Structure 1
């Protein structure tokens, strides 16, 4: 009996150690994988036209949530420097008194954005939903996400592993380091992101009909497309023996 208990205890200990190592490995992988598309300096950010702002609550109780405010500030900086022309505000719309996209919209209108430059995604319940819906619903495969560093890393991990051409601009993080509670929450979110992408093939909670953002890039493509030669007008290749 004692021997059986010891074997069981060793087995449980091994499982705990393997789980811990796996979580740390996933965290390191996500942190390092997409550094080249995460920007911390405004001057280095390419022009993207569309900025995807990931939502969070504006207030924590009666206190302004600095994670929210710094995302607004970072987006405004991109806009003022001409890096983006449109914003896609994605967040939770749980009930009438809690509406992350609409709350952000009010603040951006105060900052000088026009109605035409603001687009709302009310079904951005999770990071995966926000990123995938930007492509599938709002018909853009090239955009820049605005959020904090740790969130950028996870968002880019999701985007790049489902062939979305996204980058991320890092908003300021309140304080010097994440709180223990937020750090643990992020670790679990990263594990779930890996499971969603590679095990469960998780899809957004809601999809629906397309609502294309008529950005400058999209309009340019529409203007140029009639000028491009059709397949019938293309010259016949000299030889069809060589294939890719």
Structure 2
């Protein structure tokens, strides 16, 4: 009996070790795919027609979600510096009282982005939905994603799997225990993304008819620039 228990414990430890190695390997693989496509400096990031601001709740309880303001500021900076010509705000629209796209649009407009250049994607229930819908519904084959760095890498992995030319502006990360917990969850989220794309062939929950994105006119070209 004791021998069987030891064998079971040894087998359980071996399985746990293999699972941990697999998760770590997939996490590193997603980071590798996104290598050189995540930027922290808005001045250094190349131009893309649109930004995709990935949704997150503005509040956690009665306090501001620390991940929300940096994403908003990143999207505004891209637009103000002519790095993008429109912004798609993609998030959850679970109830009439919880509407991420509408909240993001309102805050972008308050920050000076004209409303006509902000497009709401109400069916961005998860990262895969937001990225795939940006191509299939909003017709974008090239984009700049705005989110935190660890989330950027997963979003770029999904985009490149769908033949989308995606960059990402990494918004400032929150600090403390909450950020550590979210990063640990991200390891599982990356493994699920690889499984969804390569094994399960997951598709967005909703697709529908194509929608138009109005682009701001590009700034006038300097006569001193090379053709």
Do residues 5 (structure 1) and 5 (structure 2) align? yes
Structure 2 contact 117–213 (Cα < 8 Å) conserved: no
User: 1:152 maps to what in 2?
Assistant: 152
In the alignment, the residues of structure 1 paired with residue 67 and residue 34 of structure 2 have an alpha-carbon distance, to the nearest angstrom, of 22
Do residues 104 (structure 1) and 110 (structure 2) align? no
Q: How far did 1:156 drift?
A: 0.5
Secondary structure at the counterpart of residue 67 of structure 2:
helix
Q: Deviations over 1:9-41 (max 9, x none)?
A: 222221111001111111111123212111111
Q: 1:150-189 maps to which residues of 2 (within 5 A)?
A: 150-175=150-175, 179-189=179-189
Q: Deviations over 1:67-86 (max 9, x none)?
A: 11111111111111111121
User: 1:20 maps to what in 2?
Assistant: 20
Q: Deviations over 1:39-80 (max 9, x none)?
A: 111121111121100010011111111211111111111111
Classify 1:179/1:171 alpha carbon distance in 2 versus 1 (closer, same or farther; 3 Å): closer
Aligned residues: 217
Structure 2 contact 129–204 (Cα < 8 Å) conserved: yes
Classify 1:115/1:179 alpha carbon distance in 2 versus 1 (closer, same or farther; 3 Å): closer
Larger helix fraction of residues: 1
Structure 1 contact 49–216 (Cα < 8 Å) conserved: no
What TM-score results when the alignment is normalised by the length of structure 2? Answer: 0.90
Larger radius of gyration: 1
What TM-score results when the alignment is normalised by the length of structure 1? Answer: 0.84
Unaligned runs of 5+ in 1: 218-244
How well do the aligned residues superpose, as a CA RMSD in angstroms? Answer: 1.7
Higher mean C-alpha displacement, 124-133 vs 173-182: 173-182
Q: Deviations over 1:204-235 (max 9, x none)?
A: 11111111324369xxxxxxxxxxxxxxxxxx
User: 1:232 maps to what in 2?
Assistant: none
In the alignment, the residues of structure 2 paired with residue 99 and residue 149 of structure 1 have an alpha-carbon distance, to the nearest angstrom, of 24
Structure 1 contact 53–89 (Cα < 8 Å) conserved: yes
Q: Deviations over 1:88-122 (max 9, x none)?
A: 00000010100000001111111222221010000
User: 2:52 maps to what in 1?
Assistant: 52
Higher mean C-alpha displacement, 123-132 vs 161-170: 161-170
User: 2:62 maps to what in 1?
Assistant: 62
Secondary structure at the counterpart of residue 73 of structure 2:
helix
Secondary structure at the counterpart of residue 88 of structure 1:
strand
Structure 1 contact 140–212 (Cα < 8 Å) conserved: no
Higher mean C-alpha displacement, 30-39 vs 135-144: 30-39
User: 1:235 maps to what in 2?
Assistant: none
Unaligned runs of 5+ in 2: 218-227
Secondary structure at the counterpart of residue 187 of structure 2:
helix
